[in-house]
Chain A
Amino acid sequence: MGSTFAEKVLSEKAGKTVKPGDIVEITPDLAMSHDNTAAISKTFYNIGVDKLFDPELHIIVLDHCTPAADQKHATNHKTVREFVSRHGIKKFYDVNSGICHQVMAEAGLGIPGHVIVGSDSHTTHLGAFGAFATGIGRSEMAVIMATGKIWFRVPESMRVIVLGMPPKGVFAKDVALKIVGKVGASGAIYRSVEFSGPYIDSLPIDYRVVFTNISVEMGAKNGYIKPDDKTFSYLALRTRERYTPVLPDTDAEYAENVEIDVTDMTPQVACPHTVDNVKPIGEVEGTKVNQAFLGTCNGSRLTDWQVAASILKGRKISGDCRLICIPASSKVYLDAMKAGYVATIMEAGGIVTNSGCGPCLGAHQGVPAPEEVVISTGNRNFKGRMGCSESEVYLGSPATVAASALTGKITDPREFI
């Protein structure tokens, strides 16, 4: 019997053959923290070690509230910069960079077969490159800083196999939401989820990450997409690191296989207040929205901006709706400017801000008021998520968000495509 991706990669790291349920202690290839490095650094100093185990292990990206919205965030950022400088951390990305997961992808740090941990739940993102990428907590990040070690329970694995190709106007985000709706918010709990099928293979990197990024919303420990020529070409432009891809065996044993046929799918929307409360857009069409949000690590890459701009081109957004657009990285911002998407969006009445997490977690740059409704390209719609517990958040594709901004209501984007 063969091994799944998670079993193989953790066996390699642990230097012994492991099976689901085993506990391994390993040194990750990369450990990411963001604004929370300020809090992590306090715990690190409390451990009583004055030097990092290995500064090369760490990447720090300021993204959760950038530039600082108030004194408390500014002080946090200052603490992080001092920590970076004191410990000689070279992979530091300041407030002018973008959202950590996108910044890491662009820096060529999503290396096939690497174990990547991050003190952020959407660290699963880089699994789209064939890495084992998973979220951890703050205290254990401080322990990695001190000792280089972290423990894992080897997860059971499940496969999500996407069958068929979706019709025009149905995007990766729609398919990803459909999967979360079908599997459920706890359907992949503790598990390693391997996404596969001809549709996944056909997708560009910008769209593959949508699946691994959102896999944590099904409870997954990590998401995985088999690296292929697209992955290798993407990386060839960004890193000189040598790597050996880790692929699951064809006779590996899975706890569950979920098949999903997308041939006749319509656009999908996750309704308040859970990500797995997913409905075909027809069931919520016409719901009034006060704010449309093109942003976050899940849905604001160049491909997403291109789709949104194509819908907004030559049109004006509804007077009853704000459109807030926050690129996933400064690189995306620059590319979108060069391609004319920024101008198109602003001419349509949209607001474009610097890159960062923005209002996704309710920090700043577009927090909704009580009783307001938001349609967002984000990955989480829990009550209060965007900073106001009396507001409602729907999640959809960049096309759905752009179309809804035009009408001020949740709108099927296919009428504009």
Chain B
Amino acid sequence: MEIKGKVFKYGDAVNTDVILPGRWCHLYKPEDLKKHCLEDLDKDFAANVEEGDIIAAGENFGCGSSREVAPLSIKSSGISAIIAKSFARIFYRNSINIGLPILESPEAVENISAGNEVSVNMAEGTITNHTTGKTFNFVPFPEFMRDILAKGGIRDYILAKVK
């Protein structure tokens, strides 16, 4: 899977109530979720995001509720990966479980600005900022988590194991 696109950059503690407010939590279709993703934080996000784009953010991304529709709304928007200094743990689990790559790299975040062209190589564990030419490493996922991501989420990962 290719992870490459322009960057949307946000600060610390982007919480699930601004990623997908409670009033939209009953939605589940990707085309509905993407319309409201991040609308209370960045009202232009839905209109400007393109397939493959990347979110870079500060500490504790995804803090708050356990709602899985939060990362799902981001994935539905076309975002191919989130890079943050740290993630809230349930958001982290949910993202892996729905097949959205989610990478911790404070160094990369410090060196990525909004609008930069960035790509991620999952196999090599590298993040490259093509605008500045700099490359950063992230700690690769354990094998079973790589498998879940490769299957597009835990449901299909288990489906493959059950069969």
- Interface of A toward B, CB cutoff 8 Å: 23, 36, 39, 42-43, 46-49, 72-73, 76, 119-121, 123, 135-140, 142-143, 146-147, 151, 185-186, 189-190, 217, 219, 221, 274, 361-363, 380, 382-385, 387, 389
Contacts and interface: CB of A to CB of B under 8 A. Distances in A.
Contacts of A221: 89
Contacts, number: 115
A189 B66 contact: no
A143 B68 CA distance: 14
Interface of B: 12-13, 15-18, 21-23, 26, 28, 40, 59-60, 63-68, 86-90, 93-94, 97-98, 142, 144, 153-155, 158-159, 162-163
Contacts of A362: 21-23
B97 A384 contact: no
Contacts of A382: 15-18, 64
A229 to B, nearest CB: 32
B13 A186 contact: yes
Contact of A136 (B23, B88, B93, B142): B93
A137 B97 contact: yes
Contacts of B59: 186
A361 B22 contact: yes
Contacts of A385: 17, 22
Given A137-B97, A185-B63, A384-B18, 16 more contacts: A48-B162, A76-B26, A120-B65, A121-B65, A139-B98, A143-B154, A186-B13, A189-B87, A189-B88, A190-B89, A219-B88, A361-B22, A384-B21, A384-B22, A385-B17, A387-B22
Given A138-B68, A361-B65, A48 B163 contact: yes
Contact of A384 (B40, B90, B153, B155): B40
Given A143-B158, A383-B18, A137 B66 contact: yes
| Closest A-B pairs by Cβ, 8 of them | A186-B60, A137-B94, A382-B17, A362-B22, A138-B68, A139-B97, A121-B66, A389-B40
Contacts of A140: 93, 97, 154
A136 B17 contact: no
Given A151-B144, A219-B89, A47 B66 contact: no
Nearest to B142: A23
Contacts of A46: 155, 159
Contacts of B67: 36
Given A76-B26, A189-B88, A382-B64, A146 B158 contact: yes
B90 A121 contact: yes
Contacts of A389: 18, 21, 40
A140 to B, nearest CB: 6
Contacts of A186: 12-13, 59-60, 63, 86, 88
B153 A139 contact: yes
Contact of A121 (B64, B97, B144): B64
Contacts of B153: 139
A380 B159 contact: no
